[in-house]
Every structure is written in structure tokens, then in C-alpha cells.
A and B are shown apart, each in its own frame.
Chain A
């Protein structure tokens, strides 16, 4: 899929489990969009995010953005930090959209405590999405130097699908990531970028 011309709005939904670093990821994405010269809105619901609930953040950019909420079925890219969440939010994606998924699973407490049956065949069900790109971000993060940078590995992968110059990502990462953690995160970003390219 080629990036849309600058006359339309580009929509990205980011989903996952509280504690996976989704909000940092969407901050970096939104800042990169700002530096690339777009109008941008970043919207998130994070009231309970630290308590392991399902989390969603949405970023829209283009010449002029109104609604902060992306209409269902209109996301050009869906980034999921976990497989079950990708299925939960699959309907946000446009038909044929890129679906970038970290290939790992967090079993919800409702399953581990026996209230709900486990998700069957998550990988097969995801394969039904033509734009699926499974990426093992966790081992790459470890390779970069910290498992905690798995989110930035995903930012790296995402950067290959979004029409901003690499310098804009760089500036955004510099702004958002505290100095002592910058190097490891830049390595994670590069690994994610290479993994998809």
C-alpha cells in the first residue's frame, strides 16, 4: 500500500495491554507527525492502563484533523503489541490495512482464572487479515539491550510504513525518551526498522 497523498488523513490505531509502553509509542508517532509538518491529534483512554487492562491510543495526521476518534474500519495501520488485542481491535482496520503485530501473547486474567475459554487459533485467525505483519519484537528488544524497548522496536517497524523522513522520527525519539535510555532505544528503533524493511 502506498502512502496516501497529503490531502487526506492518515489514521493509526495502537492497541495492547497496560504496561507495554503503548502511550510512549503513540507520543513518538504524534511528535514525528508534528515535525513532518502535519496537523495531528493523538487520543487515548488510559484511566486504568497501569492495571493490566486493554489499552488503545489513536493518532491521526494530515492537512487538518477534526475528530480525535478514528471511525471503525478506517485505520490505515493497526499496531498491536499482543496477538489477542490484535483480534479484539481488528475491526478498526481498513480492509487491506497494514496490521503490525508483536508476536506474543498475554493471557487475560479472565482466561487464567477460568471464566472465559482461551482464544483458539489466534495466529490462524490473524492470518485471515491480508495486511498482517507478525514481528517478534521482544527478542529484538533483548538484542538491543533491554526487553523494555519492545515498544520502540515496533516504532521502528512502523516507521517504514508511514510517510515521514527518518530525521523526524529521530527528533521525536530524542524529545520523548530520557537521555540515559536513549542509546538502547535508538538501537531498538533501528532493529525494528530493519526487521520490516
Chain B
């Protein structure tokens, strides 16, 4: 019996792996791809799955499984593929044996990312087959087809989702809920095929081009690429979710829907364009398909309407429609003025708040990194100078030190998951080259930002099995750092003492700030605080902690713009930082 289900593309992808007989699945968390592995884990070990320490390792495990002859799924966000490009670029020379499907989740508009990059160019660069699903049903179908194609052509297959497709639920028919079977391909040791040394890699290189040529023919005839007839002489080529917006805004226009977009179906599109006066390519974000069509001599119009940066939407296509049809520009409804922004904030009781408060007080130059703790960059804490990519804090701090920055106090700050992902190598550089900076790991024992995934410090695997809980202070000592401390995140006086000692020591130092994530452990202290309005002088010191539990109360005196504070009992966790920064003893536990 088939059953219609309402699934996000992430859920549909997990189902597709299960239905396709996938045996191995790996991922490192990253919005918007994270939920894929949560859903794979719901199959309770039917697929051998894990949180890998980073995307490079995840990719290499997928490669090993594929070479051993079974189907493998590897999932990551867009920047994860930067980390995993090295193995991928040589694997594409070797070629897959068991089907290998890589899920790459782009994030146009950077809803939860540090940059915008269109990884379709990386698929083309790697000569991998590229699919662009427009909804969850296509995500399911393309992953299933991807496993077959990958085996048939010995090619890695990339399925590019975006935040919108990954997190949109649509109706899906998965055929059956039974686990699928795929017969493993027996492993045969074959150095010429699987050992990429120059002598063997040269013939592989030629094979890659031959394979790509064969895939071009396949793409021309693929059911994922189709011309949808319409009226008029203005036509569109559209891929991924952009196709949905074209259908919405230009319901009657001829549209060539591209689902398998590398190699692109050039000749089919040439035939489609023959009867058209104008052809516009709608794709999110870079002109990847458009440029390949232009290179093949197909005239593609480049509209003046800006469609290259940020996520597309129907409103932007309405602007395009006005330009193309010569109608008056639409006047979108205007948002209300003067609404305060509501950015995400460190939770009340967060273990990251105290150390940032002290770093700021000590006027430290802080090379930051990516995680919940990046929120420490925002006012009022404003305790971060840089943030680049996962693991970059340490290298950046070393560079600042080598550049001779006048500030003697330079710290690199990262979370535990980030440290395991790519901080350890940077720390080894600090130890090896004896760089006088302080590396601070804000260790909350979990990968919090992406929704609390286990990591090598958590003591648990993806499937909840017990695992080693790596002690970061011991790693630091083993790498050769001698000045190593573990500190309590809520003891401000001790944080200040230890931070000052390390930052001013003139030698490499590591401070591990240890305490569980309050959101994850639902941690709360034994009391909550209240403000004594008599004693509060409205000095504002507690507001500068940026705690969501501390809110404005009455003005200092009538007409004053300075407010006293009060504490919202719904949010207070009793972490007691506020009482420690209050110089007037106005904050104490509620009776």
C-alpha cells in the first residue's frame, strides 16, 4: 500500500536512503542538512550511521564504503563541502563502486550560515552528477535514482538542496515503508583502480572525461529534465525550487525544468529555445546553468532585475515579470516602521556568557569561531573580533600574533564540537611553534548550535551508545601545551584570574571552560534571583550581560532614560552571574 506522507526534503532523503538499500550514512551537522541524519538514526541501525568528526572524515568514510561495494550517503551543509573537497576531487577520478550520494545543502540568504556560496559549481568542478530537487518528492526520487546512476556510471552523485527545500514539507509517496535491498558488489583489490598515484591517476583522468561525455547523453534524455509547453515567445529554464516560483508567477509560459543539472541537457534546451524570442534562466544563486548554455551558443537574456544574490522568492520574480513584460513595477506592501529587531541570543544561564563578559572586561582581542558562542559577538557582550569558518579561530589568532598586534592579549575561542572538527590541528601548530596565545574551548559537551548533536566529548554516539568522552585538557597536554586549565563558567572571579594569568603569561595556554549546555540538559540552579529596587541604582551593569531574563523595570527617577532592572522568574536559571556583576548588592536569591 502506498501512503502519502508530509515530509521535509531532509526526511524524504533519509527515507530514500532506507528504500534504496543504503548501508552506510555519515554526516557532520550543519543547518539546513542536520535533520537528515536524525531521521536516518530513527531506522535504529538498519543503516550503519554516525556523526563524523568533520565533513572530510564523513566523505572519506562514504568513499571507503563505496569502494567496498555498498551504497553510501554523506550529508553536509554547503561549507562542509569545502572541507570535504580534497577526498572528493580524487574520488571522482577513482569513481564510485557502491552507489555514492552526497547531500549538499546550500543556504541562499545565509539564514544560518557565515557565507553564501553556490556549490553547484563544485559539482561541475568535480564532474559529479548534480541533481536539484524542487520539493520533497523530487528529493526522494533523485536520491533513489542517484544511487542507481552512481553505480551504473561509477560516478559520485551530488543532490543540492537549499534551506527552502530542506525545510519545506510537501506530500511524498515513497511507495512502501519496507527497507530496500541492494546487492553489495564484491570487493576486489585493484591498485590500478583505487590507488591514485600519478601513473594510475593519468588513465583515471581520461576516464573522467569519457564518463562525463556519456553522462551528457544521459542528461539529454533524463526524465528529470523536461520541456513544459506554454504560450508566448518568452520562455524559462528553471532548476530546483526556483522552478516553483516560475510556475507561480509565469503559470502560462513555456518552461524547461532542469532536475539533473550537471551535465546540463544542452541540446534539449537548444531545441526548446528554438521557437522562443527570449530565454531567461532562473536558478538560485550563480549563473551556473546560464553560463553553460551561453558557452554552447544559446542566447540567454540577463535581466536587469537582481536575481543572483540571496534566496529567490515570488516577489522577486514579480519584479522580473514587470521588467520582461514592460508592466509597472509591483509595489510590495511595506513593513511597519520602528520594530526592534529580535536577534537570537545566548540563553539565560548559558555557559558562554560569563567567559565572554570577562574577555570583554580584559580588553582581549578575540578570534572567534562558529557555534552558539558566536552570539557573544553581538552587543552588549560584543566580545569577538573575527569569525571565519570552523576551526579558524586558532589560525587567525596565530596570524594576529605573528603580525605583531600591539594588544598583548590575544585569545582564540571555540566550542567543543568545533575543537574536534578542526581546532586540534590548529592547537598543535600553537604547541609546535610555541605561539604565545591563549586558546579557550567553551566546552558544553554537545554540538549546541545545530540542535544538540553528540560529539566525541559527549560520551554518546548518534544512536545513543556509550562512547569515550574526550577530555580536551588532556588533548592539549598531549599535544604539548603545559599551561592548561579547566574552569567553571559561572565563577567570574576565578575566570578573571585564570584568563589574566594565561593571557599575560607570554606562552601558549589553553583554558577549557566546562559546563553543560543549559538548553540541552534543562539545567537550572537551586534558586532564582530577584532585584531589590531600593538598592538598584540603574547603573546598567547587569544589562551588559545580555541575559534575556534581565529586563527593564521602572526608570531611575521620573523622566530618566535609565532604567532599573528586574528579573523574569520564567527565564532565570540561577546561574548567578548578575549578582556577581552588581556592585550594589541589589541582586540576591528570591526567598
Chain B residues with Cβ under 8 A from A48's Cβ? 112, 344
Q: A108–B245 contact, CB under 8 A?
A: no
Per-residue contact bits, chain B 525-566, to A (CB 8 Å; 1 contact, 0 not): 000000000000000100110101011100000000001000
What is the bound-complex CA distance between A40 and B137, given in angstroms? Answer: 13
Interface centre among B163, B169, B248, B546 (most CB of A within 10 A): B169
Contact of A52 with B336 at beta-carbon distance under 8 Å, contacts A34-B171, A39-B171 already known: no
A103 contacts chain B at the CB level, 8 A cutoff: no
Given that A43-B167, A117-B338 are contacting pairs, would A67 and B248 also be in contact in the complex, using a CB cutoff of 8 Å?
A: yes
Whether B111 and A45, one on each chain, are in contact in the complex, defined by CB atoms closer than 8 angstroms, is: yes
Q: Mark A16-49, 1 if CB is under 8 A from B, else 0.
A: 0110000000010011001000011111111110
Let me know if A115 is at the binding interface, CB within 8 A.
yes
Task: Determine whether A88 belongs to the interface, using a CB cutoff of 8 Å to chain B.
Answer: yes
Contact among B244, B341, B544 for A66, CB-based, below 8 A: B244
Q: Which of B14-22, B263-271, B353-361, B372-380 contacts A (4 or more CB under 8 A)?
A: B372-380
Q: Are B380 and A53 in contact (CB under 8 A)?
A: no
Distance in Å: Cβ of B493 to nearest Cβ of chain A? 24
22 contacts between A and B (CB under 8 A): A40-B170, A41-B168, A42-B170, A43-B164, A45-B167, A47-B163, A51-B347, A67-B314, A69-B314, A72-B315, A72-B333, A88-B339, A90-B335, A90-B336, A91-B335, A108-B340, A109-B548, A112-B552, A114-B552, A115-B379, A117-B340, A119-B338
Can you name 13 extra interface pairs (CB under 8 A) apart from A46-B167, A113-B380?
A51-B347, A67-B245, A67-B313, A69-B164, A88-B335, A89-B335, A91-B333, A109-B548, A110-B340, A112-B548, A112-B550, A114-B552, A119-B338
Q: Which of B31, B112, B168, B245 has the most CB of A within 10 A?
A: B168
The reply on B189 being an interface residue by CB < 8 A is no
Interface residues on B, range: 35 or more
Within 8 Å CB of B347, what residues of A?
51-52
> Are A68 and B244 in contact, with the CB atoms below 8 A?
yes
**Cβ of B32 under 8 Å from chain A:** yes
In the complex, are the beta carbons of B339 and A87 less than 8 A apart? yes
| Cα–Cα distance between A113 and B367 once the two chains are bound (Å) | 25
List B contacts of A40 (CB < 8 A): 6, 169-171
**A69 adjacent to B313 (CB under 8 Å):** yes
Contacts of B340 in A (CB 8 A): 84, 108, 110-111, 116-119
Whether, in the assembled complex, B451 has its beta carbon less than 8 Å from a beta carbon of chain A, the answer is yes
A143 at the A/B interface (Cβ < 8 Å)? no
Task: List, in ascending order, chain B residues with CB within 8 A of A89's CB.
Answer: 335
When chains A and B are docked, how far (Å) is the Cα of A45 from the Cα of B313? 14
| Residues of chain B contacted by A53 (CB below 8 angstroms) | 342-345
Cα–Cα, bound, A50→B345 (Å): 9
Q: CB-defined interface of B237-256 with A at 8 Å, one 1/0 digit per residue?
A: 00001001101100000000
Given contacts A40-B171, A43-B167, contact A119 B339 (CB under 8 A): yes
The distance in angstroms between the C-alpha atoms of A65 and B379, with both chains bound, is 41
CA distance A46 to B552 in the complex (A): 28
A108–B344 CB distance below 8 A: no
Which residues of chain B (444-498) have a CB below 8 Å from chain A?
A: 451
Residue numbers in B under 8 Å from A85 (CB-CB): 342
CB-defined contacts of A177 to chain B, threshold 8 Å: none
Task: List A residues at the B interface (Cβ < 8 Å).
Answer: 17-18, 27, 30-31, 34, 39-48, 50-54, 66-69, 71-73, 84-85, 87-91, 107-120, 125
B334 proximal to A (CB < 8 A): yes
CA distance A90 to B335 in the complex (A): 7
Query: Is the pair A52, B6 in contact by a Cβ cutoff of 8 Å?
Result: no
Nearest first, the 8 A-B pairs at minimum CB distance are A47-B112, A51-B344, A53-B344, A116-B340, A48-B344, A73-B333, A108-B342, A91-B333
Kindly report which residue of chain B lies nearest to residue A108, judged by CB atoms. B342
Judged by a CB distance under 8 angstroms, whether B318 is at the interface is yes
- Majority secondary structure of chain B interface residues (helix, strand, loop or mixed): loop
Q: List the B residue with the shortest CB-CB distance to A51.
A: B344
* Known A-B contacts A48-B344, A112-B543, A116-B341; A42 and B169 likewise in contact (beta carbons under 8 Å): yes
Query: With the chains together, A192 CA to B379 CA distance in Å?
Result: 39
* List of A residues within 8 angstroms of B112 by Cβ: 47-48
Min CB gap A19→B, angstroms = 9
A120 smallest CB distance to B (angstroms): 8
Q: Point out the residues of chain B lying under 8 angstroms from A54, CB to CB.
A: 341-342
CA distance A70 to B583 in the complex (A): 51
A30 and B169 within 8 A (CB): yes
Closest to B552 in A: A112
| Residue in B111, B314, B339, B546 with the greatest tally of chain A CB atoms within 10 Å | B339
Q: Which residue of A lies closest to B348 (CB)?
A: A52
List the B residue with the shortest CB-CB distance to A92.
B333
The 8 Å CB contact of A41, one of B169, B313, B318, B338, is B169
Nearest-CB residue, chain B, relative to A74: B314
Interface check B346, CB cutoff 8 A: yes
User: In the complex, how many angstroms separate the beta carbon of A57 from the nearest chain B beta carbon?
Assistant: 9
Q: Determine whether the beta carbon of A84 is less than 8 Å from that of B345.
A: no
B223 within 8 A of A: no
Query: Which B residues lie within 8 Å of A17 (CB)?
Result: 342
Q: Name the residue among A53, A110, A118 with the largest chain B CB count within 10 angstroms.
A: A110
Interface residues of B in 157-184 (CB under 8 A from A): 163-164, 167-171
Interface membership of chain B positions 95-122, coded 1 if the CB is closer than 8 angstroms to chain A and 0 otherwise: 0000000000000000110000000000
Shortest CB-to-CB span from B492 to chain A, Å, is 19
Least CB distance from A138 to B in Å reads 11
A116 contact set on B, CB distance < 8 A = 340-341
Contacts A66-B244, A67-B244 given; indicate if A110 touches B315 (C-beta within 8 A).
no
Quick check: is B519 within 8 A (CB to CB) of the other chain?
yes
Which residues on B sit within 8 Å (CB–CB) of A30? 6, 169
Residue from the list B244, B333, B334, B346 in contact with A51, Cβ < 8 A:
B346
Separation of A118 and B546 alpha carbons in the complex (Å) = 16
Residues of B within 8 A of A117 (CB): 338, 340
- B170 contacts A41, C-beta separation under 8 Å: yes
Residue of A nearest to B335 (CB): A91
Which residues of chain B have C-beta atoms less than 8 A from A90's C-beta?
Answer: 335-336
Shortest CB–CB separation between residue A128 and chain B, in angstroms?
A: 10
For the complex, what is the distance from the CA of A114 to the CA of B563, rounded to whole Å?
Answer: 9
- The reply to whether A68 and B379 form a contact with Cβ atoms under 8 Å apart is no
**Residue pair A66, B245 in contact (C-beta under 8 Å):** yes
Q: What distance in Å separates the Cβ of B84 from its nearest Cβ neighbour in chain A?
A: 21
Asked if B345 contacts A111 (CB within 8 A), the reply is no
Cβ distance A96 to chain B, nearest Cβ, rounded Å: 13
CB distance from A191 to the nearest CB of B (A): 21
B241 surroundings in chain A (CB, below 8 A): 68
Known contacts A109-B548, A113-B379: does B314 contact A42 (CB below 8 Å)? Answer: no
Distance between Cα atoms of A48 and B339 in the complex (Å): 20
B404 an interface residue at 8 Å Cβ cutoff?
no
Who on chain B is nearest to A73 by CB?
B333
Chain A's closest residue to B451 (CB) is A50
Instruction: Check B332 for interface membership: any CB of A closer than 8 A.
Output: yes
Q: How far is the CB of B247 from chain A (nearest CB, A)?
A: 4
Q: Report how far A193 CA is from B380 CA in the complex, Å.
A: 42
Taking the closest CB of chain A, its distance from the CB of B316, in whole angstroms, is 10
